[in-house]
Structure 1
């Protein structure tokens, strides 16, 4: 079954007649393009949405993770527990600090790190835990929080996929000591590039605002908008991780329709579940019983052992049918860098490897409708039937 139109894996929700173009014109007219009033407004609105006391805008989720680890005191010789089933940025940020990413295997149904394995991985060098809410499925935050409290560890959420996710009634981003969000072009809130750190700690928030911009006590907007406030001090070594007002105003527009986007993604996920639940060769993503899934990704696991095809061929045939799919993710321990630098080997994390071999990400974004999803599901079912 060939789709009459291309059904893309991901697309940002930006309409030609939407609010983004007028909002950008307003910023351009103001002549203030870097970090300024729109960035401050975006931070305030984001805090209101998440329910966290502070939000600090940065230029990527990678920067958000790095700064969160940095202000938490993670450094050379330390260890940080995380998952192999994530994009490389998660462990890359840990490496920036000089610490070692200590990976543990995943739950093959939620795709999140298996919290029952965390305690066994803790050593005297362990400083923090960085769970990834994979695809938007919330991690078991109660278990992780209890472990962190007992061992005096910092809990830093990699919430790149998890804006709108909830765990037991609490928004992800209002759960750990710090949380890092992504606003990359493929994310549920897309501004091209960008990120946000949320925290309820006044001291951490104050320091984050300093280190995100060269360790300077006042950004340019604060110096410009106050009389006789040209003076600033550099109080520590910082980074160039600030967000521009151009990106921030896009964030404000995206934030205004985030709940509608969540409703659409949730509806699309239900259509996928209904259409594919009877296909024995497919394991569908688990729906959390004690939270809300953001459905950044819709990842199925396809059992090709009993089919006359493999995962790559299935993706190729779907693309021939005008349907884009992807694979999220190649487990980090399979990459040469992580093997050579940290000694990881093939076979270290069997659940992550098993999921990876079967994973296919189906199209999921707010510009799809239920007919698009049914087209994808029908094409997939036909290919499976042909391969039996």
Structure 2
């Protein structure tokens, strides 16, 4: 048994991060100040995007992206069922209809073949999810989108720092969202961002996060105090405190990602040829950020192993329940059996701890107990 609880994910905060936030607390700005633009620019530069707009959380960022894409009543948006509910909920916020396309049995990401099957005259957009930090097949998805005049909003909540065909995730889609929740690659406590190379989307994102209010050409005539609300927006703004923490975290992101990759390699080697366990497959020409490390248990032993590992103070988890299994979506008419590959995968999936603060002894404890339990229950 582990002496201390080993969580599946957690933030890595050091004294430099703390001092950066303290300095901002002592500055004139707590909410809307210079750190936000600095943080946006840092993210944009890191991924190679032209624009970035920060939000109070990743869900708000996805909501804003759907607004910028013009999604509304009667529009259909295709996404994966194996994701956090926000990837679908953002469509519902705008009055759109969520269409779930099944996953690829190897990558666990949305399958482009299934996307093609789901396209109708009402399809407006695609929201591929970079599940666990592995990029979706963006070249094929973008080809499909261009052929049907669709907007692609990449849910990269897991994939900041991941690479697709030699480039950082963040410029392949029309808009890409990254999350800064504490278990993500870097944290701002809560926070999210949209990166894009489209200036029109950029302006709409800025408008949407700030009540739909903007300074106008009439400001000089009316006075510097003058502004107008031109659309119905939200207060989805990030604070300077969050942005300051994010800026400090960005100086360490490559170290964080490298540590995650080392942990994944350790797990892969430990479980590679073990009966009863399937290790994650990595798509060629991608380099995952390894936000999550998930195995499949082949013998239907997930519940027993989950409970035994938790009893040993090891915080295994399961990501995710298929979105359309949730009561809200069932009430909308979604039935089980809609995405059979995703459902079969979910029944056997188990998330193992992976985060930058893990030690070698933590990994040894996890591996030895998983091996023992798999043998016991198989």
TM-score, normalized by the shorter chain, greater than 0.5: yes
What is the aligned counterpart of 1:383 among 369, 373, 377?
Answer: 373
Q: Does 1:233 align with 2:223?
A: no
Distance 2:91 2:56 in 1: 17
Cα-to-partner distance string for 1:297-347 (whole Å, 9 max, x where unaligned): 001011124xxxx31221111122221100000001212211211x21111
Q: Partner of 1:360 in structure 2?
A: 350
Structure 1: 5+ residue stretches without partners:
none
Distance 2:368 2:128 in 1: 35
Cα-to-partner distance string for 1:153-205 (whole Å, 9 max, x where unaligned): 00110111111111111221111000111111211111221000000011211
TM-score relative to the length of structure 2: 0.96
What is the aligned counterpart of 2:315 among 315, 324, 331?
Answer: 324
What is the aligned counterpart of 2:42 among 41, 45, 58?
Answer: 45
Distance 2:109 2:28 in 1: 44
**What is the correspondence of 1:95-110 to structure 2 with a 5 Å cutoff?**
95-110=92-107
Distance 1:354 1:114 in 2: 15
Structure 2: 5+ residue stretches without partners:
none
Distance 1:364 1:187 in 2: 11
The 3-state SS of whatever aligns with 2:153 is strand
Q: Does 1:76 align with 2:73?
A: yes
Q: Does 1:246 align with 2:241?
A: yes
The 3-state SS of whatever aligns with 2:132 is helix
TM-score relative to the length of structure 1: 0.93
Query: Once superposed, which parts of structure 1, at least 4 consecutive aligned residues long, lie more than 3 Å away?
Result: none
Q: Partner of 2:360 in structure 1?
A: 370
Note if contact 1:130-1:158 (Cα within 8 Å) is conserved in structure 2. Answer: yes
What is the aligned counterpart of 1:186 among 178, 183, 188?
Answer: 183
Q: Does 1:255 align with 2:250?
A: yes
Note if contact 1:275-1:374 (Cα within 8 Å) is conserved in structure 2. Answer: no
The 3-state SS of whatever aligns with 1:196 is strand
Deviates more, 1:370-379 or 1:115-124: 370-379
Distance 1:27 1:55 in 2: 21
Distance 1:383 1:69 in 2: 44
What is the aligned counterpart of 2:289 among 291, 294, 297?
Answer: 294
What is the aligned counterpart of 2:156 among 147, 154, 159?
Answer: 159
Q: Does 1:349 align with 2:339?
A: yes
Q: Partner of 1:123 in structure 2?
A: 120
- Measured at CA, do residues 47 and 339 of structure 1 come closer, stay the same or move farther in structure 2, by a change above 3 Å? same
The 3-state SS of whatever aligns with 1:287 is coil
Distance 1:208 1:142 in 2: 25
- CA offset at residue 382 of structure 1? 0.9
Distance 1:187 1:364 in 2: 11
The 3-state SS of whatever aligns with 1:346 is coil
Distance 2:54 2:4 in 1: 37
Note if contact 1:59-1:195 (Cα within 8 Å) is conserved in structure 2. Answer: yes
Note if contact 1:272-1:374 (Cα within 8 Å) is conserved in structure 2. Answer: no
Equivalent residues, number:
373
What is the aligned counterpart of 1:171 among 154, 160, 168?
Answer: 168
Q: Partner of 1:93 in structure 2?
A: 90
| CA RMSD after TM alignment | 1.5
Q: Partner of 2:326 in structure 1?
A: 335
